[in-house]
Amino acid sequence: MKHESSKDLANERAVLDILCKRWKCTAFKLPVRYELDYALLRDGVLKCFVEVKCRTFAQATYPTVVQGMRKIVTGLNLAERSGVPFYYVVRWTDAIGYTSTFNGEIRLGGRYDRGDDQDADLWMHIPVTQFVNL
């Protein structure tokens, strides 16, 4: 996880603690090869896959949440093959929401500030209205 700092991991873990308490699950940090953050289990049985993003602004600041298509496709493929859902979870400064609906526009874009040519990609713009708040 090339761009995950220890602060990023701590923020993810804080969100997972809330999810696990609410959904009565335990979180397993997936190996990098899975390309997703966590598997949630109950009594040792896989219940869902989760990708967590922590934002530094309020939920209503932007109409969409932007995520690289590869992450979405990976999550949906794992969900289809395993028969359990994939949830995309976002913590904003004022809310935590999740979705398993991905009906956003796909656009070319990315980051150019890190000097990583792999940051330019196809990006899904997921409407904030598709998220269920915890």
| Residue 117: band (very low, low, confident or very high) from pLDDT cuts 50, 70, 90 | confident
Each residue's pLDDT tens digit, 4-40: 788 888 999 999 999 999 999 999 999 999 999 999 9
Predicted confidence band of residue 2 (pLDDT cuts 50, 70, 90): low
pLDDT in tens, 40-76: 999 999 999 999 999 999 999 999 999 999 999 999 9
Identity of residue 102: F
Tell me what pLDDT residue 1 has.
44
- Can you say how many angstroms the Cα of residue 127 is from the centroid of all Cα atoms in its chain? 14
* 76-93 pLDDT tens trace: 999 999 999 999 999 999
* 131 contacts 90 by C-beta, under 8 angstroms: yes
pTM listed for this prediction: 0.89
CA distance 57 to 55: 6
49 or 115, which is more confident?
49
Cα distances (Å, whole numbers) of residue 10 to 14, 54, 113, 126: 6, 10, 23, 25
Structure tokens at 117: 């040519």
What b-and-e string marks burial along 21-60, b requiring 16 or more CB atoms within 10 Å of the CB? eebebebeebeeeebbbbbbbeeeeebbbbbbbbeeeebe
Q: What CATH number does the domain located at 6-133 have? A: 3.40.1350.10
Cα torsion angle, 7, 8, 10, 15, sign = positive
- Is the per-residue pLDDT at 132 higher than 80? yes
